[in-house]
Amino acid sequence: MHFVDALQNKIRANYPWAASPLIVSAPMAKVAMPKLAVAVSRAGGLGFIAAGYHSDHLEDLLEEAEDLFQEGLPDTPVESEKGVPKFLRIGVGFITWSASLEKALPSFSRYCPAAVWLFAPPKGFQDLIPWATKIREATALRTKIWVQVGSVSDAVEVVNAIDPDVIVVQGLDAGGHSLARGASIVSLVPEINDKLRELRPYPQKRADVLAAGAISDSRGVAGAMALGAQGCVLGTRFLASPESMIAYGYQKAILDASDGGITTVRTKIYDKVRDIHGWPEGYDGRGLINKTFLDHLGGLSEIKNRELYREELNRGDEGYGPNGRLTTYAGTGVGLIKEVISAGDIVKSLREGARNILFGQHQPKL
């Protein structure tokens, strides 16, 4: 009890605008832009901007987020009064094998986002030591360090390397990039929690554990909390919000899909046809099965598959879906998503629904 309370107090202290259970929108490359992140944070969650593969436009993105926060909403001001350092109530995510810490640092000094999410270091988690050290220096520890992992051994390594504030435990049924092999959060969250308790017996020194992967509605949030997570990260669910930077065809494919364990697949081909190279050993991505994958399975060469992909881009929205070729990353929870809902309403309904299952009228009946 004492331990859990201490952890929850830590989340409250670090993200004081956030309500519990903490709902987070993932830093989906190219999709999670300021509009989505700000909407999620405004609803009492924590929204992440994807800096993604590089850090070139980070300053612009953070400025845009700041503007959005200030847009006619006196009840959620950015603390930018004279003498008070800025603090931006969103996070920023980096694909660390590709992004540049040096380019990103000035933006951290200037905007102090609430969290940075570090993913996929090129060789090992010790590669994150400069990221953690310099960002902590630049923001006087105010930007919290989040790291995404997909296994117990990764969690141990990252704690030993940089003692992160948050470990995002990503199950193998998550959409987009993750470890190619792994477990779901069902075993991963409890086992990582046990391991963290061993490594850091004192709860104030221990990373919070957030769950990601296959969570699309309040039942998933409640399940993850019962498994021992302190909050939940969702990606695919937010693809079907008007605030996502996403093609209509992509969004339609998300709404149309069902039975995600069968209609999605983990593969590297969806990167290869887009000329994205350099993901570290052991990573791939989960997306809806389409012709790119089926032709790849049928033996089509990568060169030819890439050519067809480029032609398909001309079809625009028509290029998505099971009969299209364009990459539609999605997790196995895609079948639970039936309509486009505003990001703020997604956050609120997840939170309310989970509270109802855990404490209210929808508690399991025994």
Distance CA 35, CA 132 (A): 26
Residue 67: count of CB within 10 angstroms of its CB: 12
Comparison of 265 and 343: residue with beta carbon closer to its own copies: 265
Q: Classify 361 as helix, strand or coil.
A: coil
Q: Does 27 bind its own copies (CB under 8 A)?
A: no
CB contact at 8 A, 176 and 274: no
Q: Does 173 bind its own copies (CB under 8 A)?
A: yes
Q: What is the DSSP string of 72-110?
A: T-TTS--S-STTSPP-EEEEEEEETTTS-HHHHHHHHHH
Q: Of 310 and 338, which CB lies nearer to its own copies in the complex structure?
A: 338
Considering the rule CB under 8 A, would residue 259 count as an interface residue with its own copies? yes
Rounded CA separation 74/136 (Å): 30
3-state secondary structure 207-265: CEEEEECCCCCHHHHHHHHHHCCCEEEECHHHHCCCCCCCCHHHHHHHHHCCCHHHHEE
# residues near its own copies by CB under 8 A: 63
Task: Decide: is 344 part of the binding site for its own copies (CB under 8 A).
Answer: no
Instruction: By CB under 8 A, tell whether 265 contacts its own copies.
Output: yes
Contact residue for its own copies among 34, 45, 47, 335 (CB under 8 A): 335
Among 41, 151, 241, 328, binds its own copies (CB under 8 A): 151
Contacts of 181 (CB under 8 A, 6+ apart): 172, 282
Contact flag: residue 349 with its own copies (CB under 8 A)? no
With respect to its own copies, which residue has the nearer C-beta, 136 or 351? 351
Taking the complex as a whole, the smallest distance from the CB of residue 153 to its own copies amounts, in Å, to: 5
Question: Is 44 a residue that touches its own copies (CB under 8 A)?
Answer: no
Angle ∠(104,134,76) on CA atoms, nearest 5: 65
The amino acid at 190: P
352 binds its own copies (CB under 8 A): no
Residue 263 beta carbon to its own copies: minimum distance, rounded to whole angstroms: 9
Point out which span in 78-86, 112-120, 124-132, 255-263 binds its own copies (CB under 8 A).
255-263
Smaller CB separation from its own copies, 130 or 203: 203
Contacts of 298 (CB under 8 A, 6+ apart): none
Residue 8 or 76 having the CB closest to its own copies:
8
Nearest approach, Cβ of residue 175 and its own copies (Å):
11
Which CA distances in Å does 205 have to 8, 166, 197, 272?
13, 11, 10, 41
Q: Residue 107 or 218: which CB sits closer to its own copies? A: 218
- Shortest distance, CB of residue 355 to its own copies, whole angstroms? 7
Q: CA–CA separation, 172 vs 331, rounded Å?
A: 9
215 binds its own copies (CB under 8 A): yes
Residue 358 near its own copies by CB under 8 A: yes
Q: Among 91, 164, 176, 331, indicate the residue that binds its own copies (CB under 8 A).
A: 331
CA-based radius of gyration for the chain: 20
Q: Looking at the DSSP assignment, which residues form a beta bridge with residue 179? A: 283
Report in angstroms how near the CB of residue 217 gets to its own copies at its nearest.
6
Instruction: Confirm or reject binding of residue 322 to its own copies (CB under 8 A).
Output: no
Helix 34-42 × helix 343-359 angle, to 10°: 40
DSSP state of 167: E
Q: According to the binding rule CB under 8 A, does residue 235 interact with its own copies?
A: no
Smallest distance, its own copies to C-beta of residue 20, A: 4
Helices (H) and strands (E) in the chain, counts: 15, 11
Nearer to its own copies, 152 or 167 (CB): 152
CA-to-CA distance for 171 and 168, rounded, in angstroms?
A: 10
Per CB under 8 A, does 176 bind its own copies? no
Query: Interface with its own copies includes 99 (CB under 8 A)?
Result: no
Residues forming the site for its own copies (CB under 8 A): 1, 4-5, 7-8, 20-21, 150-153, 171-173, 179, 181-191, 194, 213-217, 219-220, 222-228, 258-262, 265, 331-336, 355, 357-359, 361-366
